[in-house]
Amino acid sequence: MTHVNSLMWFRQDLRLADNPALVAACDFAARHHSHVRAVYFVTPAQWAQHDVAPIQIDFIQRHVNLLVQALAALGIHLDVLHAQDFDEVQTRLAAYIEQHHIGAVFAANEPEINERRRDRDLIDNGVPLTLIDQDCVLAPGNVNNLAGGMYKVFTPFAKKWKSIASQRAIIVVPVPSPMAAALTLPDEIVFSCDTISSDQWPAGEGTAKRILDKFVASQIDDYLAERDFPALEGTSRLSPFLAIGVLSARQCVAAILSRYPQALVDDTCPAKTWLNELIWREFYRHLLVAFPRLSMGHNFNELGNAIAWHNNPHQFSAWCEGRTGYPLVDAAMRQLNQTGWMHNRLRMVVASFLTKHLLIDWRWGERYFRQKLIDGDLAANNGGWQWSAGTGCDAQPYFRVFNPMTQSSKFDPDASFIKRYVPELSAWSLADIHQPKTVNVNDLFAQRQDDGYPQPIVEHKMARLRAIEILSALKRG
C-alpha cells in the first residue's frame, strides 16, 4: 500500500481551532483521498528531566482526553503513546509511521532546544516531518533589528513587532471540517506518571475561549489599574491554557482586535497593557530560539557567571515553604504550593527576594517554579527569573531590590490576600503585617515569637546593601 495517510502530531497545541498544522494534515489527506491520524506522546522521563509540574501533567491529561473526543467527532483517531524520553519517541514514531502507512507528518515548531534537536534528528533520519510556525503570532526570526539580529531590549522589539503585525491579517484558523464519520470514543486515557489534581482549574478549549472573550469584553479596560493587586481578579488567568496550547497567542490578539481594531497602532488603546504582556511572551520565545543557551540554564548576561551566590539550603527551604517572616512573600509562596499558580506581581516579588535578599541562584527558584506551576513554560519562566535576578535580556537592574514591605502595603493594602494564605496573621494589625520602615524590626518580632509566625530570616536594609555589592559583578568586566 502506498504511504499516503497523514499524521498530526500534537504537542504544546492541544486544540482544534487556530491549529494550522492540523489543517495541513487534513488538507494532505483530502488531496490524497486518504485518512488523517493523530498522535500525542506521553514522555514521563523527559517531563521529569524538564521538571514539569505534576499539576500541569494532570491538566495536560484532562485536555488530551477532551482532544480525543473532539477529534473523534471529526472522524480522526488520536493515539496516545507512551515513550520515556525523546530518544524513544523517535523509535516509536518511526514504527507508527510504518504501521499506519503515513506519508506526511505535521507538527508545530517548538522554541526549546531539546525539542528542536529532536525534530532535526527526525528529519535527518528521513521522517517526513513538516514543521509549521504557529507557536507565536510572529515566528521567531521575523522580528529583527536593523542588523538583522534579535533585539536584546523589549521596547524596540515590541515596537517592531506591532509594526509588522499591524500589516498582517491576524486571522484565527477555523476548525477543520469532519474527515469521516464520527468515531466511537475510547476509554479515558490515564498517563503513566504521577499527577496532582488540577480540578480547581476549568478545562476545555471552549472554556478557554469563553474566559478570553469575557476578559476582553469586560475586564481588559481595567487591566492596567488592577493587574498588580493579588486580592483582585484583575488578570486574565489564561496562562495555563496558553502554556499547553489549548489557546493560541493569535486567538488572544485577534480577540483584542475584534474590540479594538486600532490596538496595534494606537498607544492610547485601553488594551495596550495586556497586549504588551502577550508581546513579552513572544519576546521570550524568540530569545529561546536566538540564544539556545537559555534553554540550558545559562545566564544571558555572562557577567552573571561571576556572581557569588550564597545558596543557603535552609533559607531556600523557608522560601519554598512560605515561612520567610515576610507576609507577602510567604502568602505568595503558599498560593503557589496550594494552587499551582501565582499572581504575576508576586512572581516578581518572590523572585527578587530569593535572588537579592537571600542571594540564592535564580536557577534554584526557576526550577522550583517549574515543578509547581500549572502554567509552567520554559521561555516565560526563564525570562522572568533572569529579569528579576538582573542576569537576563533587558533585565531589571541589579541594584533594584524590591522592598517586600513596601510591595505589601502598596499592592495588598488591606492584607486580604495575605490573610487568605497566611491565616495565622488574621488578628494582626495592618501596621504589623506590612512592617513599616519606622518600626524596629527586631523589637517588633521579639514580641511575636509565640504566635506561630516566624521572624524574618533576613533584615531588609542589610540584605539590600549586600545584594548591591554582590550583584555588582553584573557591571564589571
385 in catalytic set: yes
Catalytic residue among 88, 226, 277, 459: 277
- Rounded CA-CA distance 158/458 in Å is 38
Is 109 among the residues known to form the active site? Answer: no
Quick one: how far is CA 418 from the chain centroid?
24
Specify the pairing of strand 77-82 against strand 5-10. unpaired
Residue 432: partners with Cβ closer than 8 Å, 6 or more residues away: 444, 448
280 catalytic residue (yes or no): yes
The residues, any chain, with a CB within 8 Å of residue 278's CB and separated by 6 or more, are 137, 249, 252, 253
Three-state DSSP at 17 gives coil
Indicate the burial class of 72 (C-beta count within 10 angstroms; 0-12, 13-18, 19 or more).
middle
Which member of 88, 226, 276, 309 is catalytic? Answer: 309
User: Could you count the other beta carbons within 10 Å of the beta carbon of residue 267?
Assistant: 10
- In Å, how far are 239, 329, 347, 385, 450 from 395, measured between CA atoms? 22, 21, 15, 9, 41
- The catalytically annotated residue of 9, 47, 341, 385 is 385
Is 362 marked active-site? yes
Active site residue 319: no
- Specify the DSSP element, H or E, that contains 286: helix 272-290
Quick check: is 65 catalytic? no
User: Of 9, 319, 362, 428, which residue is the catalytic one?
Assistant: 362
DSSP 132: E
Q: How far apart are CA 328 and CA 350, in angstroms?
A: 9
Options 161, 201, 274, 280, the catalytic residue = 280
d(CA 300, CA 306): 13
Residues noted as catalytic: 277, 280, 309, 344, 362, 385
